A and B are shown apart, each in its own frame.
Chain A
Amino acid sequence: MSCDWREQVDLYVDGELEPASQQAFSGHVQGCSDCATAVLEQLELKKAVRLAGKRFTAPPDLYASVRRQIHPEARATRGWSWGLVSAALILFIALGFGWYARSHSENATLAELVDLHVNMLASPNPVDVISSDKHTVKPWYQGKLPFTFNFPNPAANSPLTLIGGKVVYVQHSPGAELVYQVRLHKISVFVFQARDVSGAGSAYGSAFTVNSWQQNGLQYSVVTDASKEDAEQLRALLEEANRQ
């Protein structure tokens, strides 16, 4: 390749050019097929490394361990002072905390899923594998996820169409995001291992409908701005397809 701009491809895809140069390069790429190919290849490579590189997630006890390192005094005092507190009070606090932690965790998961759905709606590349054929999309996940699941089987005249899918992360764990189209609305279906992603709740009435459930050790969530009925219909199809 002999294009003079070629040396700037790496800088461009890594976002290292000055804003004016970045814009000029963008303009150049529109008319230079060699540079456009090189940019595309670098972007694909970066994406592949990003996905493959995020291979290990810190275990929860490592979080606890470093927090203990940061606040050793909390650990030192906890031992004797709480021994004086009555069992009833401890139980009360534990129950209250359990309820709070669970509800907080559920809300956080819910918010993450809605964010991923919105991100998908705004993205020029909403999915990494584009196909309306589940026999194309399902095999694409092989080797990318540590679990498998069945795709729904909509009726021939159903307005529900598969658009494609991609791998997403929630609570540092990999999962699938399938994207469906129903009339003018898009629906995201998130599938994670239930042990990795604590149960997201269901929410209606806000801008998005979130319909979540657990089945065969997997956590499913349908997120959409389509109607509640559309979400329920897709849930029923998924439940049916994954019934053992």
Chain B
Amino acid sequence: MAATVISRGNVNGLDNKDFEKLAVPLLDGLYNFACWLCGDPDEARDLVQETFLKSLKGFGSFKEGTNFRAWLFRILRNTFLTSRTGLERRNTSQEGEDGFADVVATADTPELALVRRADTEMVQAAIAKLAPPFQEVLLLADMEEMKYQEISEALDIPIGTVMSRLARARKQIRDHIVAASSAKKVVGIRS
């Protein structure tokens, strides 16, 4: 992507150096999040660059004191949703909000043991299988360690929705680990 010269009015007194100081430390997290959303490193890279371009343009109207990280993730996510991949994923996402029964985590100790033994690839496969609305909430909560309020701002959804999606996402991850571990066991016994 060609570098674009940005000109904007400094309504909040913040300049490009302030932007750099705030935004560049978030680049790794944004890129990781973008890779999960797009499923393709090249597309993720373009998405991050476009996010930086948009946020730099909008930085003049950014109000100091508001949550910059949530603002930046929100721009990235909105940019993704309007991209071709984003539209495709929205149209083909397997499971909607109503597709799941309400979930309350069980506390069986065998599950705990399975979660402990789950390897990284198994958990990555479980995250990849999540429908986008659940995947993004889970990644922001557990990987970016955002508070519910921050997630709510980043995704533009109510806090209650953040909580219910998070609970459902975790339930699905647990279920996947249990199923994958059982399948592994059966294969192990057969072979």
Contacts of B104 in A (CB 8 A): 1, 6-7
A77 CB to nearest chain B CB (Å): 12
Q: Complex formed: what's the CA distance from A169 to B148 in Å?
A: 26
Q: Complex formed: what's the CA distance from A154 to B2 in Å?
A: 56
Cβ-neighbour of A49 out of B116, B142, B163 (below 8 A): B142
Known A-B contacts A48-B118, A55-B124, A69-B53; A10 and B167 likewise in contact (beta carbons under 8 Å): yes
The interface bits of chain A over 67-83 (1 if a CB of B lies within 8 angstroms of the residue's CB, else 0) are 11111110110000000
In this complex, what residue of B is CB-closest to A48? B123
Contacts of A9 in B (CB 8 A): 105
Are B143 and A54 neighbours in the complex by a CB distance under 8 Å? yes
The interface bits of chain B over 142-171 (1 if a CB of A lies within 8 angstroms of the residue's CB, else 0) are 110101100000000000000100110010
Interface size on B, residues (CB 8 A): 57
B70 CB to nearest chain A CB (Å): 16
Asked if A158 is at the interface of the complex by the 8 Å CB criterion, the answer is: no
Asked if B76 is at the interface of the complex by the 8 Å CB criterion, the answer is: no
The interface bits of chain A over 118-149 (1 if a CB of B lies within 8 angstroms of the residue's CB, else 0) are 00000000000000000000000011100000
Asked if B41 is at the interface of the complex by the 8 Å CB criterion, the answer is: yes
Are A38 and B105 neighbours in the complex by a CB distance under 8 Å? yes
Are B24 and A67 neighbours in the complex by a CB distance under 8 Å? yes
Known A-B contacts A16-B148, A48-B115, A53-B32; A1 and B107 likewise in contact (beta carbons under 8 Å): yes
Asked if B27 is at the interface of the complex by the 8 Å CB criterion, the answer is: yes
> Which A residues are within 8 Å of any B CB, using their own CB?
1, 6-7, 9-10, 14-16, 34-35, 37-38, 40-42, 44-46, 48-59, 62-63, 65-73, 75-76, 142-144, 172
23 A-B pairs with CB atoms under 8 Å apart are A16-B148, A34-B107, A35-B107, A37-B109, A38-B107, A41-B105, A44-B116, A49-B139, A49-B143, A50-B142, A53-B36, A53-B139, A53-B142, A57-B32, A65-B3, A65-B49, A69-B6, A70-B24, A142-B119, A143-B119, A144-B119, A144-B120, A172-B28
> Which B residues are within 8 Å of any A CB, using their own CB?
1, 3-6, 16, 19-20, 23-24, 27-28, 30-32, 35-36, 41, 44-45, 48-49, 52-53, 56, 104-107, 109, 111-112, 115-116, 118-121, 123-124, 126-127, 138-139, 141-143, 145, 147-148, 163, 166-167, 170, 173-174, 177
